[in-house]
Amino acid sequence: MNYIDFTNKDNTATIFLKGHIDSSNAPDIEKEINETLGNEKFDNLVIDAEELKYISSAGLRIILRLKKEYPDLKIINVPTEIYEIFDMTGFAEMMTIEKAYRKFSVDGCELIGKGANGSVYRYDEDTIVKVYNQYSSLDDIKREREMARKALILGVPTAIPYDVVKVGDQYGSVFELLNADSFAELLISGQKTMDEIVDMAVELAKQIHNTPVKDGEMPYIKDTALGWVDFLKDHLPKEEYEKLNKMVNDIPREHHMLHGDYHIKNVMMQNGEVLLIDMDTLCVGHPIFELASVYNAYIGFNSADHSIAKDFLGLDWDDSVLFFNKFMHKYLEGRSEEEIEEIGKKAAVLGFTRILRRTIKRFGYENGKPLIDKARECLDKYIFELDSLYFDTGIE
Amino acid sequence: MMIRKSLENDVLTVFLSGRLDTSNSAEFDSAVRESVDSVNEVVLDMRGLEYTSSSGLRVILALHKLMDAKGGKLVLRNVNSYIMEIFDVTGFSDILTIEQ
What domain count does chain A have?
Answer: 3
> C-alpha dihedral over A177, A183, A187, A188, to 10 degrees?
-60
Q: Does B87 touch chain A (CB under 8 A)?
A: no
Pick from A162, A179, A271: which is nearest to B89 by CB?
A162
**Last residue of one domain, picked from the residues A47, A71, A100:** A100
Indicate yes or no: CB of B54 within 8 angstroms of CB of A162.
Answer: no
A61-117 pLDDT, tens digit each: 999 999 999 999 999 999 988 998 998 999 988 999 988 888 889 999 999 888 777
Q: Name which of B54, B61, B64, B68 to mutate to probe chain A: the one with the most chain A Cβ atoms within 10 A of its Cβ.
A: B54
Residue A135 has a pLDDT of 76
A255 to A218, A250, B77: CA distances (angstroms): 10, 15, 35
Indicate yes or no: CB of A153 within 8 angstroms of CB of B51.
Answer: no
Q: Does A152 touch chain B (CB under 8 A)?
A: yes
Residues of chain B positioned with their CB less than 8 A from the CB of A273: 22, 55
Q: Do residues A292 and A356 share a domain?
A: yes
**Last residue of one domain, picked from the residues A117, A143, A176:** A176
> CATH number for the domain including A295?
3.90.1200.10
A343 Cβ neighbours under 8 A, 6+ residues apart:
A288, A291, A328, A332, A335, A391
- Residue A234 pLDDT > 90: yes
User: H or E element: which one contains A4?
Assistant: strand A4-9
Alpha-carbon distance of B62 to B95, in angstroms, equals 12
Mean pLDDT of A195-214: 96
Residues of chain B positioned with their CB less than 8 A from the CB of A150: 91
Q: Could you tell me which residue, A10 or B32, shows the higher pLDDT?
A: B32
Q: Do residues A253 and A283 share a domain?
A: yes
Q: Do residues A56 and A121 share a domain?
A: no
The mean pLDDT value of chain B amounts to: 93
What confidence tier does A367 reach under pLDDT thresholds 50, 70, 90?
very high
Mean pLDDT of A265-270: 93
Does A396 fall in a domain?
Answer: no
Q: Does B69 touch chain A (CB under 8 A)?
A: no
Q: Do residues A209 and A315 share a domain?
A: yes
Domain hosting residue A319, numbered range? 181-385
Least confident of A102-106, A247-251, B15-19: A102-106
Q: Which residue of B has its CA nearest to A272?
A: B22
Q: Which residue of A has its CA nearest to B86?
A: A162
Q: Name which of A126, A128, A153, A154 to mutate to probe chain B: the one with the most chain B Cβ atoms within 10 A of its Cβ.
A: A153
Q: Do residues A57 and A148 share a domain?
A: no
- Strand B2-8 with B11-20, pairing: antiparallel
- Number of C-beta neighbours around residue A369 at 10 A: 13
Indicate yes or no: CB of A149 within 8 angstroms of CB of B92.
Answer: no
B64-81 pLDDT, tens digit each: 999 999 999 999 999 998
- Number of C-beta neighbours around residue B56 at 10 A: 24
Indicate yes or no: CB of A163 within 8 angstroms of CB of B89.
Answer: yes
Mean pLDDT of A315-324: 97
Mean pLDDT of A229-237: 97
Q: Read out DSSP for A362-373?
A: HHHHHHTHHHHH
* Class of domain B2-99 as given by CATH: alpha beta
Q: Could you tell me which residue, A139 or A275, shows the higher pLDDT?
A: A275
Alpha-carbon distance of A161 to A142, in angstroms, equals 10
Q: Could you tell me which residue, A156 or B1, shows the higher pLDDT?
A: A156
Q: Does B58 touch chain A (CB under 8 A)?
A: yes
Residues of chain B positioned with their CB less than 8 A from the CB of A163: 89
Q: Do residues A274 and A314 share a domain?
A: yes
Burial pattern B85-99, b for ≥16 Cβ within 10 A else e, equals: ebbebbebbeebebe
What confidence tier does A368 reach under pLDDT thresholds 50, 70, 90?
very high
Domain boundaries, chain B: 2-99
Residues of chain B positioned with their CB less than 8 A from the CB of A179: 22
Residue A199 has a pLDDT of 97
Q: Does B68 touch chain A (CB under 8 A)?
A: no
Q: Does A158 touch chain B (CB under 8 A)?
A: yes
Q: Do residues A220 and A136 share a domain?
A: no
A20 to A3, A89, A181, A334, B4: CA distances (angstroms): 10, 17, 50, 72, 53
- Residue A138 pLDDT > 90: no
Residue A396 has a pLDDT of 64
Indicate yes or no: CB of A160 within 8 angstroms of CB of B57.
Answer: yes
Indicate yes or no: CB of A152 within 8 angstroms of CB of B57.
Answer: yes
Pick from A150, A160, A271: which is nearest to B54 by CB?
A160
Q: Does B19 touch chain A (CB under 8 A)?
A: no
Q: Does A173 touch chain B (CB under 8 A)?
A: no
Alpha-carbon distance of A77 to A81, in angstroms, equals 12
Alpha-carbon distance of B91 to A174, in angstroms, equals 16
Residue A374 has a pLDDT of 97
What confidence tier does A136 reach under pLDDT thresholds 50, 70, 90?
confident
- Residue A57 pLDDT > 90: yes
Strand arrangement of the beta sheet that strand B97-99 belongs to: B2-8, B11-20, B41-52, B73-77, B97-99
Q: Do residues A121 and A185 share a domain?
A: no
Q: Do residues A208 and A318 share a domain?
A: yes
Tell me the pTM: 0.83
- Residue A1 pLDDT > 70: no
Indicate yes or no: CB of A149 within 8 angstroms of CB of B62.
Answer: no
Measured in degrees and rounded to the nearest 5, phi and psi for residue A48 equal -100, 120
B79-91 pLDDT, tens digit each: 998 899 899 889 9
Residue A2 has a pLDDT of 65
**Last residue of one domain, picked from the residues A159, A176, A193:** A176
Residue B21 has a pLDDT of 92
Q: Name which of A152, A156, A181, A275 to mutate to probe chain B: the one with the most chain B Cβ atoms within 10 A of its Cβ.
A: A152
Q: Do residues A119 and A145 share a domain?
A: yes
Does A217 fall in a domain?
Answer: yes
Pick from A152, A163, A271: which is nearest to B54 by CB?
A152
Residue A395 has a pLDDT of 73
ipTM at complex level: 0.85
Q: Do residues A93 and A219 share a domain?
A: no
Q: Are A264 and A258 in contact (CB under 8 A)?
A: no
A331-346 pLDDT, tens digit each: 999 999 999 999 999 9
Which candidate, A316, A314, A381, A309, places its Cα nearest to that of A346? A381
A152 to A38, A277, A289, B61, B92: CA distances (angstroms): 49, 11, 22, 9, 9
Q: Do residues A91 and A162 share a domain?
A: no
